[in-house]
A and B are shown apart, each in its own frame.
Chain A
Amino acid sequence: MRYFAHTPSSVEHMLKAIGKNSVTELFSSIPPKARLSRDLNLPKRMDELALKRELAPFLKPKDVVSFLGAGATAHFVPVWISQQLMRAEWYTSYTPYQPEASQGTLQAIFEFQSMVASLFGMQVANGSMYDGATALTEALLMAIRAQGKKTVILCTSIHPEYREVVHNYFKLADLKVIEADFSKSGITDLEKLKEILKSNSSDLAAIAVQSPNFFGRIEDVFALSLLAHECGALLVGCMTDLSACPLLPSLAKLGADIAVGEGLGLLGSISLGGPGVGLLSCHRSLLRQMPGRLVGQTNDKNGQVGYTLTLSTREQHIRREKATSNICTNHNLMALALSMNLASYGRLGFKNLANINLRKTKLFREHLGENKHIKVAFVGPYYNETVIDFSDQNRLLDRVNQALTQNLLAGVSLNRFYDNLKSHLLVATTELHSDQDIIKLAQILKGESL
């Protein structure tokens, strides 16, 4: 087998040194009744040539232009990053427990933390989480611990899969989740929220909001933070597309105490939604409640500057059952990929990216126009996604199918997530789409023949 260096003679040499007669003897601690008495039933092994043939159907992407976003909106990533990520020193190393042998990873995480803190305007950020959904969940659990209370409020304009994860975790820990609905304009209904707060404020640890929200609308995060703080709760802000950051005040500036996000769209590969990278940041006062890996700058014994994992007394390998979380990893390679891309864009490039996304979406909306059957469902400040109401589910399906015949994936039907949005389609328009494709899609969706 190509990955094994041993030969029969080296095996024999080693067995002799160990004092065993056969490899089977090495397993004598496993009683016969506990052993598998047959071979595993798996497909026959393959050489590399055969494997490449087997996987050949995946060589090319589908020949479609995709307007699918919904928490997995792809953005441009330069070629150098995929080449850099192939460096074995990055992807075949382990968690940097030995700082002398891992300064590369440690410094890169330190830089990542700095960039994430800046995106959210926060003072501290950790070395990343599994994904946005678990980052949001852990942020709410942080709030529960910090506030000593047992209830959180989720705005229903947060990504539905994120909410599902929060519900599932909270149910298991006997904690309470209340949902606050959105208004006709597709952002959190502040009046309804105030009603909820009237009877639930005493046990409230946090309110969570996403902005731009699942519908692409910008939420009034500041107003929500005032409501949260008035009843002594924290505000947790969430973003699923970081490219909006250069256009909007940071979540911290808008009053969020903890900010989380997902970097998937900026990694160069959506890959069925994973691996992505979860971001978690907060005010310094919440640092000791933060889960996950943190890197800090320090000095070595000769006074030279270096980096090391730090504050590990929060973590499970030291604290065991008293740890802040059971999480003992980050999504390091994805955090690295995100840092590389943020560094590539830089301040100026990232601003341009956000600007172009907004322009594309403006263009799409202008060409979509409005008629008696089709309209933009939620009116108000937006970023790079648009919800279209077709007023009839069949019309939606029909137009989406028409788009597909032109090799355009039109968007995500919201019917799968919201009972009251049966005829609604979520469309993402970004720098990856040409103006022509955007206009073409708008025309098809509004029923114009091409």
Chain B
Amino acid sequence: MTKSTASHGLEINEPLIFERSSQGTTAIDFFAEELLSNAEIAEILGPFSKEVGDELLLPEVSEPEAVRHYTRLSKKNFSIDTHSYPLGSCTMKYNPKIHEWAGRLSGLTSLHPYMPIEMLRPGFKLCFELQSYLAEIGGFHQVSLAPAAGAHGEFAGLAMIKKAHLAKGEKRHKILVPRSAHGTNPATAAFFSYEVISLDINEDGRMILAQIKDLMDDQCAGLMVTNPNTLGIFESEQLEISEIIHRRGGYIYGDGANLNALMGITRPGDLGVDVMHFNLHKTMTTPHGGGGPGCGAIGASFELAQYLPSPVIELNQGVYQPKDNPLSIGRIRSFFGNFGMMVRAWTYIRSLGAEGLKSASELAVLNANYIKKKLCDHYHLPYQVDCLHEVVFSDKKQAALGVQALDIAKRLIDYGIHPPTMYFPLVVKGALMIEPTETESLYDLECLIEAFIKVAKEAASEPELVKSAPHLTALSRLDEAQAARNPRLTYQDLSK
């Protein structure tokens, strides 16, 4: 019997930082600096000066107050370092501390994008190496590190596909997207005015070859695929699917969200994926930061590499430099991308090497299958086939007792477990998507499994307890409808 990690602590209430303010307080002094007089300022800015009394609404606190405020707020968060965080499709693995050390080295953080290029070469070398590592891991010809996030990588990928078709004089207006895909896939397709043709999945949770054969034509730009898919199931017929798409002039976009299942096992590029984004913040464990920054590095086949977004770093006669590619879709954000994230991902790949990355995938899959085995008697398993790095259950058994996926998720918080991804993928009603990752120990997995089983039992014996959860948190069941009906989005709104 393991012990739940959750317990009552001293709950800290913390006001908005504006409510701590007292006029004239600041946490930053400039003792040694002279200031211009208002007249001198007016002389420089002329008619563009700010009017007297037109003040910014910024907090006015001392340094100790600021530190206390943010430290207290931080304690209101679950995080990987404090809790199991099995969010499906998000790959919440341990963020090694050496990465934070590396990312903060002043020789890297002080690099300015417009420094003389000689000063930038060591940084470019690191980017170049990371590009090559990712190309090798994904099976691609070349990689660009420019995209800031997964969805940004998707944007780049579809842009490249659109450009490749236009270069051949083809204007294709449709794209195939499985119903199980991430919401960003159709949203990105919509930007390019591609009509989204939804693909069904079969009883094994996989795409249907015959349907793709049927729908793929010369009006169709190709297929957006996540493999393993969002059910954690490998698309076993990927090679055959790729052949159909390619034969009819299409390209395959790979959503790399689930790459953590495949490192050193198989490579999307070898399976016919033409362009794919990596989520360095998932697979290569650069921290999620409460929702970013990430890095959506994008890999491409030999044919599509020429369209990769700028900058791509090349090694030319021993010199590292940004490459000038006339066919590129161009720059899709400022400067060189999220370099700080690249440093962390580089450090991770160098820490693990080929064997470590393969072990990571193997253990991630082992952990997911162990959870699947241990929970399949307690939760409905909509697809009974082998899963890889994540497993999707549903609330079907509990829903029959009036307890929904949301209730299960909230009750798990009481057991010190961050809820799994809920209600996604949309193809499973009341989905609970669990991705433990490789860095969870057997001990922590047992805690997680026990918590899920307890909640399943409670759903039968004391459904009200589950439906009114969480009970141990400071707040419970925030009214999202009220938040949307009458949006209060700033401190300024509160005084209205």
Contact = CB atoms under 8 A, between A and B. Distances in A.
Contacts of B188: 326
B136 A41 contact: yes
B442 to A, nearest CB: 5
Nearest to B137: A40
Given A4-B438, A299-B478, A304-B475, A381 B48 contact: yes
Given A26-B366, A98-B409, A356-B35, A40 B264 contact: yes
B327 interface: no
A21 interface: no
A78 B94 CA distance: 28
B455 interface: no
B70 A84 contact: yes
A115 interface: yes
B482 A29 contact: no
Interface residues of B, number: 196
Interface in B222-273: 233-234, 236, 238-239, 263-267, 270-271
Interface stretch (B210-218, B291-299, B395-403, B458-466): B291-299
B356 A29 contact: no
Interface string B87-106: 10010101110101111111
A51 B349 CA distance: 11
Nearest to B272: A34
A124 B26 CA distance: 25
A150 interface: no
A90 B115 CA distance: 31
A92 B79 contact: yes
B484 A296 contact: yes
A373 to B, nearest CB: 23
Contacts of B352: 1, 3, 45
A102 B78 CA distance: 6
Contacts of A310: 480, 483-484, 487, 489
A132 B27 CA distance: 27
Interface in A28-80: 28-31, 33-36, 39-46, 48, 51-52, 54-55, 57-62, 66, 68, 70-72, 74, 76, 78, 80
B421 to A, nearest CB: 8
A111 interface: yes
A100 B476 contact: yes
Contacts of B491: 110-111, 114
Contacts of A27: 234, 265, 365, 388
B48 A34 contact: no
A346 B148 contact: no
Interface string B153-174: 0110001001100000000000
B326 interface: no
B187 A329 contact: no
Contacts of A134: 148, 152, 332-333
Report the interface size class on chain A.
35 or more
A195 B374 CA distance: 72
A81 B357 CA distance: 33
Contacts of B358: 39-40
Contacts of B452: none
Contacts of A115: 57-59
B66 A275 contact: no
Interface in B263-287: 263-267, 270-271, 287
A72 to B, nearest CB: 6
Interface string B176-192: 00000011101111111
Interface in A267-322: 268-276, 287, 293-302, 304, 306-313, 315-322
A61 B111 CA distance: 8
Contacts of A328: 149-151, 183-184
Interface string B63-87: 1001101110111111111110101
Which of B46, B120, B372, B479 gathers most chain A CB within 10 Å?
Answer: B479
Nearest to B85: A94
A41 B440 CA distance: 27
A172 B159 contact: yes
19 contacts: A11-B363, A42-B357, A71-B334, A99-B478, A102-B290, A111-B16, A113-B490, A114-B57, A125-B489, A159-B334, A293-B291, A306-B478, A317-B183, A329-B292, A342-B58, A346-B61, A347-B57, A353-B28, A358-B44
Given A42-B349, A124-B487, A332-B292, 15 more contacts: A1-B359, A26-B366, A39-B354, A43-B350, A99-B475, A115-B58, A131-B335, A134-B152, A162-B334, A319-B183, A326-B188, A328-B150, A330-B291, A358-B44, A380-B46
The 8 closest A-B pairs by CB, nearest first: A273-B335, A45-B353, A333-B289, A58-B107, A5-B441, A316-B187, A88-B81, A275-B293
